Chains A and B, each alone.
Chain A
C-alpha cells in the first residue's frame, strides 16, 4: 500500500519560556490512498493542530511530513509545486469559513477559477455541478451563507474544497455545528467521495461519526497518540483507560455498551 501522506516524528510547539505549549509531541502517522482515517480527541488534545500540519498550513517545529514520498515543508513554505491543491481542508464552522458577501455559487466558482484557470462562465458551470453533487439545488446556490441552513453551508464548503480535485480531504469537526439529519446527509456524501477514491481524514471528538466513517483511527490526548489501529477493534476492545472513558461518554446505544464494560 502506498502512503499518500506520511508524518514522521512531528512536534509543534507554540510560544516559548513560561508560555510554551507543546501542542503535538513526536507524532507519526500514515494515510493510504483513498483511506478513511479518523483522529479523535478532546479539545486541547492537539488534533486540529496536527490536521493543520498535514494540510500544509502549519510548519512543524520538528519532524517531517511527506506527500507522495516528498517532503511538503521547505522552510516556511509548504507543498511546493503543483501539489498544494491536492490536500484540501473543510473547517468546523462553515459560517466563519464562507465569505458572507458571496453567494454559494460565486464562493465555489471563485475557487474553480483559481484552480482550473478558466473563465468565469465555465467556472460557474463547474461550480453549479459541484454544488449539485453536494445536494445544493441551483436555487439555493444563488443564496448567501446567512440564507442557508447550517448543513447546506457545510456542504457548500465541501463543494469548494472539491473544486481543486483533491486526493485528500481533511475535515476538522465537520459535523459538530449541524443537525442530526444534516449530519446524516453530509456523511452519506463523504461515503460517496470515499467510493470515488478520495482519502478523508476526519478529525472529531464525536466517536459515533468516527465509527461510522473510518476504518482506522488515532486516539489523541495531550499531543500524543495514546492508541491507534483498526476502528472496529478499538471500539470493541479499547486498551487504554482514556479510550475507554471516551467510549463510555458517547450518548445512546454505543456508550451504554462501553459503560457496562467499564463498570463490569
Chain B
C-alpha cells in the first residue's frame, strides 16, 4: 500500500500526559504514530504499561475520565482531528463512527440491565431503520448468539464469558461503525472461545468493511488475524509493518518479543526473555527508551531524544538507530 491512499485513521506524534496540579505533567505516551486503512485489521502489541490502551482511549474520548489528556500530536479520523475535540464534539461522535470493546468481558456489560436493555441503549444514538427490538435481534444474530429471545431477557451473569463478549461486540457494532477497537477482547477466555471470537471479528471485517484495531500482548494471535502490526514500548511506537514484514523485525524489542513466543519455542529449551523491565512512566531515560534492555545498544543510543520512526509511512518502519545490526539475525 502506498502512502498516498487515503487512510481511515492517522495517528501522528501523539503525546498523552497526566497533568498534576503541583508537579510536572507526567507524560505516558510520546511519539506514537501509525495509520489504519479502511477495512484494515491492525494489531497493537506491547507489554502492560506500554500505552496501548491510552492511545485507544484518545480515539474514543475517554482520556479525561482517567485524568489524562492529549498534549500534542494528531489523531485524524477521516479529516477530523480527535486529539483536540471538545466534550460536546465527543458527545456527537462517541458510540457512532468508532465502536469500542473493552478489555474485561466479564465486567464489561452493566450487571443490572438485561441484554435487551443494554442493546437498546447502544442503539438509541444510531440512525438505522427498524424498531429497536428488531435491530437488537439483528445484532445478536450478527454476533452468532442463539436463542436470541431468551438472551434478550437475560442478565449478564446468566451468560458465559464468551457470550458476554459477543454481546459487547454487538453493542459496539450498534451504530455500524467504520472502526472497531477491541482492547484485549479475549483475555481470560478459553482458547476455543478466543478462536471463535477471532473468526467473528474477521467475518465482521469482511462483511461490512469495518476496520479493526486489536490490542493484545499475544503476537501469535495478531499474526493469525491482522494485516498490520504496531509495536509499542514505553509509550512510543517502535515498529510498524505488515504481518509478513514482522517476520524480519527491524527493532530489537520486536526481535525479543518474537523470541519469547512460546508457540515457536522448542519444548524445554531456554526461552529468551527481555532484559529487565520497561522503564516506568516518569523515569524514561534520555535517548532510546529501550536502550537499557537492548542487546545491540550503541553509544549514540543513550543521548538525545527517543528516535522517531524511520522509513516511509505505510512501509515497514522502525524506531531503531541501528536496525542494520539486526540483519542476518
Contacts and interface: CB of A to CB of B under 8 A. Distances in A.
Contacts of B194: 249, 251
Contact of A252 (B217, B224, B277): B224
A113 to B, nearest CB: 29
A174 B225 CA distance: 26
A78 B28 CA distance: 50
A164 interface: no
Interface residues of B, number: 35
B192 A251 contact: no
B97 to A, nearest CB: 29
A246 B272 CA distance: 26
B223 interface: yes
Contact of B192 (A176, A231, A249, A253): A249
Contact-residue size bin, chain A (C-beta under 8 Å from the other chain)? 35 or more
Nearest to A187: B271
B217 A209 contact: no
B272 A249 contact: no
A59 B51 CA distance: 45
Interface string A77-95: 0000000000000000000
Contacts of A231: 267
B257 interface: yes
A184 interface: yes
Contacts of B325: none
Interface string B272-309: 11100100000000000000000000000000000000
Contacts of A191: 268, 270
A212 B265 contact: yes
Contacts of A138: none
Interface string B216-259: 01111101100000000000000000000000000000001100
Interface stretch (A8-16, A115-123, A200-208): A200-208
Contacts of B81: none
Given A179-B47, A251-B218, A184 B192 contact: no
Contacts of A42: 190-193
Contacts, number: 103
Interface string A177-210: 0011111110110010000000000000111110
By DSSP majority rule, is chain B's interface helix, strand, loop, or mixed? loop
A237 interface: no
A180 B272 CA distance: 11
B263 A188 contact: no
A246 B192 CA distance: 6
B111 interface: no
B188 to A, nearest CB: 7
A97 interface: no
A63 interface: no
A107 interface: no
The 4 A-B pairs with the shortest beta carbon distances in the complex, nearest first, are A252-B220, A249-B195, A184-B260, A251-B221
25 contacts: A42-B191, A176-B188, A179-B47, A179-B217, A180-B219, A181-B47, A181-B260, A205-B190, A206-B191, A208-B263, A209-B262, A211-B267, A212-B268, A213-B267, A213-B268, A232-B267, A250-B263, A251-B194, A251-B218, A251-B263, A252-B219, A252-B221, A252-B223, A253-B264, A255-B263
